[in-house]
Amino acid sequence: MLFNTRKRRSRILIAVATAAAAVVAVAVTLALTVTTYDHTSPRAARAKASGSVAGDVDCRKAKCVALSFDGGPSPTTPKLLDILKQQHLHATFFVQGKGHISKYPDILRRIADEGHEIGNHTWNHKRLTDLDEDDARQELSRTQDAIEKITGTRPVLMRPPEGRTNRKVAKVCRELGLAQVLWSVTAKDYETTDSALITKRVLDQTHRDGIILLHDLHKGTVPAVPGILKALKQRGYTVVTVSQLLAPAKPQPGMVYRP
């Protein structure tokens, strides 16, 4: 009987030790595979900054939300620009190189001329985390050069395709003087042409200090914008660019900004 009891205790101890080892192994694996990078929220960035805000909107006081569009310029962009002009609003456009900047330079020039903010969305829309450092740098620097050639200004903001970033991407962005901008609101307008659904998704997710992500190249998006803007105004929001949302903080190269 004593022998059997000791045997059972031994088996229990072995089982406990094995389970503990497994937990440690998982923790070590996660520590090695999870990539960390510097990130902050627009609200936190503002709280750490001092000084005055240029312009007539101070998001420390106003109920702000940033409006951003990815993937253009495209043939649908001029209509969007007309809508924003009528509303006296500005947005941030994260533009893409191949098939967009290269194909519609006049639309990009209009975006800049009408006072909108322009950010970098890479040349080929490849996942930067899947590329080596040199290729990731090329994706961004080629787009920087093209934007500067057309508008005379190099962006200080970028949005990584699919929001995928890591320490390697942050290093490249830091070298190129680019802050990374993610989002808190997505309508997934790439999967639907239903403008009413796009509007609902945006309004359901929007909160103060958020960043809205839309794509002006998709069929249902631009028709949804007037309704989105009207509803946001009724709810007391002030629509701003990403840099206005951060002010008086300045975008820090390499930093990831996410609400």
Half-sphere exposure of 239 (CA within 13 A, CB side): 25
Long-range contacts of 76-80 (CB under 8 A, 24+ apart): 76/216, 76/217, 76/218, 76/219, 76/221, 76/222, 77/104, 77/107, 77/111, 77/216, 77/217, 78/107, 78/110, 79/222, 80/216, 80/222, 80/225
* Active-site position among 70, 189, 209, 216: 70
Question: Catalytic: 194?
Answer: no
Beta bridge partners of 126: none
Question: Catalytic: 70?
Answer: yes
* Active-site position among 100, 121, 215, 218: 215
Residue 90 tokens, joined: 């500005």
**Strands 39-40 vs 256-257: parallel, antiparallel or unpaired:** parallel
Beta bridge partners of 118: 93
Beta bridge partners of 181: 257
Tell me the C-alpha distance between 91 and 72, whole Å: 13
Phi, then psi, of 209 in degrees rounded to 5: 70, 20
Active-site positions?
Answer: 70, 215
